[in-house]
A and B are shown apart, each in its own frame.
Chain A
Amino acid sequence: MNTSKFSIHAEDGIRFFGETTASVSHEIKNCLAIMNESAGLLQDLVMLSRKGKPLDPERIDRIAGQISGQIKRADAIVKNMNSFAHSTDVPEKSTDMGEILSLAMTLAQRSAANQGVSIRFAPPQEKIIAVTHPFFLMYAIRRCLDFSIKTIGPEKVVEVMMQAGEGNIEIVFRRIENPDDQNLKISFCEKLESMLEKLGGHLLFHDLPKGISLVLNRTHQK
């Protein structure tokens, strides 16, 4: 890989890490904000009870449930963030590909929703295990999803699935394409070129229905 290709993918890889952690911290802030208001509401109700308004036990129970619900939500977000952070631990390892795709989709969910797009993700029916670099794989998945969203038509749904074939593993992104956005295709391919070289894969563009496949030349380890 030459220096300029390396710096493109190093820069964009760092950008991807930043985008993901910013989005996760935003989600956690929302959980904290809800817990903050719920705790404040409990204090308000206690204050009102001191002034003579009776405390409703059912109401207190609901507010406590709201707080514990947000703790569970924040815990799941932090767990995903932790898995994402540890995806950089080793250059390559035996990886549950469905799990990585699922994590990448979960981390992208809010960004897609903010752009008015829904992701329909179908996990693979059986475990697909292969040796890969989890961080770079998530990066390539995210950029394929970003491209799909940027070129999406009016339906605003991206379908994502994974399948293991003979000597390869394919991640498919399907959506109705906006025909005016063909130029993005060129810059998208250029940006991913060096990354795909590193991952040992390539892109396939489908016409009917419109979509992209990220194809990894990897054997599914049974």
Chain B
Amino acid sequence: MRILLVDDEEELVSTLAERLSYRGLDTDWACSAKEALSKSGQQIYDIAVLDIKMPETDGFKLKRQLQENNPKMKFIFMTGHGSDNYYHIGSAETGREFYLVKPVNIDLLIDKLNEVLQKQGGV
């Protein structure tokens, strides 16, 4: 499983990526939509964990752009913003069980990563 974490908070994504790598997960990270798109153009990721609110874009738009590079890519949303509107859009995009609110427990995230790959068609 190759994972891409995207969040404009660099300390968050870099630390989370390191922790996932200690658990044997091949994880890369990006701090902007531009960086995420550039990385996904160079490598194949099975799944992306996307922040919803980021400067200049949102996770929903980024999801669609990433899917253009890799239509098989799966997604989980991770947000600090618990608004009903985002919850409904996020749930519609990926299923409500794959819309996580920060701070996220790493074991729960790993469960969701495995689950999303199984539920949405596997790697």
Interface centre among A22, A33, A113, A114 (most CB of B within 10 A): A33
Contact at B12–A33, with CB atoms within 8 Å? yes
**B9: chain A residues within 8 A (beta carbon):** 30, 33-34
In the bound complex, how far is the Cα of B16 from the Cα of A29, in angstroms? 15
DSSP majority for the B interface? mixed
Contact at A22–B56, with CB atoms within 8 Å? no
In the bound complex, how far is the Cα of B18 from the Cα of A40, in angstroms? 11
**B16: chain A residues within 8 A (beta carbon):** 37
Contact at B19–A26, with CB atoms within 8 Å? no
Report how many residues on chain B are interfacial, defined by Cβ distance under 8 Å.
21
In the complex, how many angstroms separate the beta carbon of B101 from the nearest chain A beta carbon?
Answer: 8
Report A74-109 residues with CB < 8 Å from chain B CB: none
One of B41-49, B102-110, B113-121 contacting the partner: B102-110
Judged by a CB distance under 8 angstroms, whether A14 is at the interface is: no
In the complex, how many angstroms separate the beta carbon of B29 from the nearest chain A beta carbon?
Answer: 12
**B11: chain A residues within 8 A (beta carbon):** 34, 37-38, 66, 70
Contact at A30–B12, with CB atoms within 8 Å? yes
Listed by A's residue number, 15 A-B pairs whose Cβ atoms lie within 8 Å are: A25-B80, A27-B80, A29-B101, A32-B102, A33-B103, A36-B102, A37-B12, A37-B15, A37-B16, A41-B15, A44-B18, A66-B11, A114-B54, A114-B56, A116-B55
Name B's A-contacting residues (CB within 8 A).
Answer: 9, 11-12, 15-16, 18-19, 22, 53-56, 58, 80-81, 83, 101-104, 106
